[in-house]
Amino acid sequence: MNSLELLKTAKVEVSPETFFLVSLPHADWVKLLENPELSPRMTAPFMIFRDKWEVTLLLDEIDFGTIRHAVREAKTEGNFRLLSFDIELDFNAVGFMAEVARILAEAKIPIVALSAFSRDHLLIKQQDLSEALKFLGRYVGELC
């Protein structure tokens, strides 16, 4: 299946939460790890990604509120909604996220792309959500 055919079978789900991206230096991440009460709840989506430059956290508003006092110097960006493509993508699938990015780029909607093991996700600013869903709705199997 090509990427457009895959999109036609995809169901797009929008998480009810609003999310923050947080960028921390490695040393600040270690401090957070030393305080288990600052860990994300296991009931809401979250992400932790560490590369050689920073640690990036994706947290909903509640979890971000819990750690806000401990990460005052962190770079943050908020007011994101999480869109999840409920389609298991094989590692041989080519161009799925590129097609999604193209559709939203044509609508002039910025995205943050995230991938889990078998599904792709997008962060879209709240103010762009309805427009993004309008454009994606033309290509996907179902919007939720």
Residue 5, Cβ density class (10 Å: 0-12 exposed, 13-18 middle, ≥19 buried): exposed
CA angle 99, 59, 64 (to 5 degrees): 145
Report d(CA 129, CA 141) in Å as an integer: 18
CATH fold of the domain at 20-78: Alpha-Beta Plaits (3.30.70)
Q: What percent of the chain has a predicted confidence (pLDDT) above 70?
A: 100
pLDDT tens for 25-35 read 988 888 888 88
Beta strand 112-115 with 142-143 is unpaired
Predicted structure pTM score: 0.89
Residues of the chain with CATH 3.30.2130.10: 3-16+80-143
Torsional sign, CA 61, 62, 68, 70:
negative
Residue 132 · residue 37 · CB < 8 Å: no
Helix or strand holding residue 78 (H, E): strand 75-85
Domain with CATH 3.30.70 in the chain: 20-78
Task: Give tens-digit pLDDT for 105-116.
Answer: 999 999 999 999
Number of helices (H), then strands (E), in the chain: 5, 7
Helix or strand holding residue 57 (H, E): strand 55-60
23-81 confidence digits (pLDDT tens): 999 888 888 888 878 888 777 888 999 999 999 999 999 999 998 888 888 999 999 99
**Looking at domain 3-16+80-143, which of 3.30.70.20, 3.60.20.10, 3.30.2130.10, 3.40.1160.10 is its CATH number?**
3.30.2130.10
